[in-house]
Amino acid sequence: MILAIFFWIYLVLGLAYWGAAGFFTWLSTRRVRLDPALPGVEGNLPSVLVLVPARNESRAIEACLRSLLAQDYPRLRILLADDGSTDGTREIAERIADGEDRLDVIAAGELPDGWMGKCWALHRAYEEARTRKIANGSLLLFTDADIFFHPRTVSIAVRRLLDEKLDLIGLLPRTLNGSFWERTIQPAVIHGLLVLGAITELFPAKDYPRIASGAFILIRPEFYRIAGGHFALRHKLIEDIALATTVHMRGGKTAAFHAPDLIRLRMYHNLGEIWRGWAKNFFAGTNDNLRRSIELAAMFLLFSVLPVFLFPALLARSLGTGQGWWWAASAGLLYGAMTAVRAAGNRLTGESPIYAFLHPLAGVFLAGVVIASTWSRRFGRGALWRGRRYPIRRTEP
């Protein structure tokens, strides 16, 4: 009797979980999607200063910079801050900048204590732009060194920012996946971020985090200063969401749009990179909260892993005993709901729906990443990324 009660409670919670995920997935498909056919800006155009941090991005930096230089936006300036690359990234950037007056390359310099590398590089780029007087009055575009831009990306984003009187606009990219593990795991994470974005639009509370992506954040300079710039974010591992949230909480109008046809990237290339990348971020994504981290790992295990074991086990029991068909059918309903929502999420992120059947494998992986991220940040030596160790800050500045 007690086992039956626990089962039905679990079933109701599981169906509610995947029902809500399905609703917000549908809502994500209804969000404004920016594509190359939309009109850009005309007339009196504001200048745009693109600030690019780079650390060991030799395999992507040339495509990134050339796609930025190919933008149809006429008033564009690019400043790349190399954050101690050892793989030739800076040399590639300097070769592209040779004879190109729209692109400048600087060295970020030694990373100070208490700073995250990306925040330091962006801070140095902005301060250098101010010194050279090329930041005055310009809209600021923060991006990453592994992004590929459609030629109309900047003009369409500026048009949307001006037309809707936004103070910050974030574009959410399409993630390109090459390996088996990328196709299995990455769509699950990106789908979750898109769902979170839909939730923040439906419930725009003043203190609720705003979704943004470091791939593309266009912000008015006055709100960048109001937010305290990257100096105020210097200890943040997830600085993109922190910047958007700070602007939102200080009275700015922010928005994030799905733009898979305008910006694309390949975040990781193998299982090890996926593990290290998300292990760096997951505990920070809970605001370094141990209880939330435990809840997140439990959620992955209960609702993304258990259904794939529960359904065949109950079905086999029913076939063997001729009883408990309602239990088996209910477990099958939960498994079907999970797979259907994951398939819809894969279509949303541009991946084949067939990988939805491997979602339990992604669930095991993500639960493990949450546990590893929590251990390293809470009890261990901190997050490791690109050869640097970032210890947790237990008090805010």
The number of residues making up the chain comes to 397
Q: How confident is the model at residue 397 (pLDDT cuts 50, 70, 90)?
A: very low
Residue 352 predicted with pLDDT over 90: yes
Specify if 396 maps to a domain. no
The amino acid present at 217, given as its one-letter code, is I
d(CA 214, CA 198): 18
Q: What are phi and psi of 390, to 5 degrees?
A: -115, 100
Total domain count, the chain: 2
Q: What is the secondary structure of 121-134 as a DSSP string?
A: HHHHHHHHHHHTT-
Does residue 246 share a domain with residue 108? yes
Does residue 254 share a domain with residue 316? no
Structure tokens at 342: 């994951």
Q: How confident is the model at residue 395 (pLDDT cuts 50, 70, 90)?
A: very low
pLDDT score recorded for residue 97:
94
Domain around 22: 2-27+288-390
Alpha helices in the chain (DSSP H): 2-30, 61-69, 89-97, 117-131, 153-163, 180-202, 221-226, 239-249, 271-285, 290-300, 306-321, 325-349, 359-374
Does residue 371 share a domain with residue 232? no
Structure tokens at 381: 């030596």
Please answer whether residues 78 and 103 qualify as being in contact, where contact means their C-beta atoms are separated by less than 8 angstroms. yes
Please answer whether residues 36 and 67 qualify as being in contact, where contact means their C-beta atoms are separated by less than 8 angstroms. no
Global confidence as pTM = 0.89
Q: Of the given ranges (16-30, 280-294, 346-360), which has the lowest mean pLDDT?
A: 280-294
Side-chain-side CA neighbours of residue 257 (13 Å): 20
| Domain boundary residue, one of 269, 302, 334 | 269
Residue 291, number of CB atoms within 10 A of its CB = 8
Q: How confident is the model at residue 92 (pLDDT cuts 50, 70, 90)?
A: very high
Q: Of the given ranges (203-212, 350-359, 364-373), which has the lowest mean pLDDT?
A: 203-212
d(CA 373, CA 19): 28
Q: How confident is the model at residue 40 (pLDDT cuts 50, 70, 90)?
A: confident
Mean of the per-residue pLDDT values of the chain: 89
Does residue 152 share a domain with residue 38? yes
Residue 329 predicted with pLDDT over 80: yes
Specify if 198 maps to a domain. no
d(CA 87, CA 89): 6
CB proximity list for 377: less than 8 A, separation 6 or greater:
283, 284, 288, 383, 392
Does residue 236 share a domain with residue 138? yes
| pLDDT per position as a tens digit, 99-108 | 899 999 999 9
Query: Can you give the C-alpha Rg of the chain in angstroms?
Result: 22
CB proximity list for 94: less than 8 A, separation 6 or greater:
105
Does residue 151 share a domain with residue 56? yes
pLDDT score recorded for residue 392:
63
Structure tokens at 94: 């300097």
Q: How confident is the model at residue 42 (pLDDT cuts 50, 70, 90)?
A: confident
Q: Which residues of 113-137 are buried (b: 16+ CB within 10 A; e: fewer)?
A: eebbbbbbbbbbbbbbbeeeeebee
Specify if 72 maps to a domain. yes
Specify if 147 maps to a domain. yes
Rounded (10°) angle between helices 61-69 and 89-97:
20
Residue 56 predicted with pLDDT over 60: yes
Does residue 369 share a domain with residue 255? no
Closest CA to 62 of 43, 28, 87, 30: 87
pLDDT score recorded for residue 206:
58
Coil/strand/helix, residue 329: helix
d(CA 203, CA 210): 10
| pLDDT per position as a tens digit, 159-191 | 999 999 999 999 999 999 999 999 999 999 999
| Cα–Cα distances in angstroms (integers) from residue 6 to residues 10, 299, 337, 338, in the given order | 6, 16, 20, 20
| pLDDT per position as a tens digit, 122-163 | 999 999 999 988 888 899 999 999 999 999 999 999 999 999
Q: How confident is the model at residue 5 (pLDDT cuts 50, 70, 90)?
A: confident
Does residue 336 share a domain with residue 250? no
Alpha helices in 31-144 (DSSP H): 61-69, 89-97, 117-131
Does residue 9 share a domain with residue 81? no
Specify if 298 maps to a domain. yes
Specify if 218 maps to a domain. yes
Specify if 339 maps to a domain. yes
Does residue 22 share a domain with residue 44? no
Please answer whether residues 229 and 130 qualify as being in contact, where contact means their C-beta atoms are separated by less than 8 angstroms. no
What's the whole-number mean pLDDT along residues 31-55? 87
The CATH number that applies at residue 104 is: 3.90.550.10
Specify if 181 maps to a domain. no
Long-range contact set of residues 195-204: C-beta below 8 Å, sequence gap at least 24? 195/21, 195/24, 195/25, 195/28, 195/345, 197/28, 197/31, 197/172, 197/256, 198/24, 198/25, 198/27, 198/28, 198/31, 199/24, 201/27, 201/31, 202/24, 202/27
Does residue 68 share a domain with residue 18? no
| pLDDT per position as a tens digit, 279-320 | 888 887 887 788 989 999 999 999 999 999 999 998 898 888
Does residue 109 share a domain with residue 223? yes
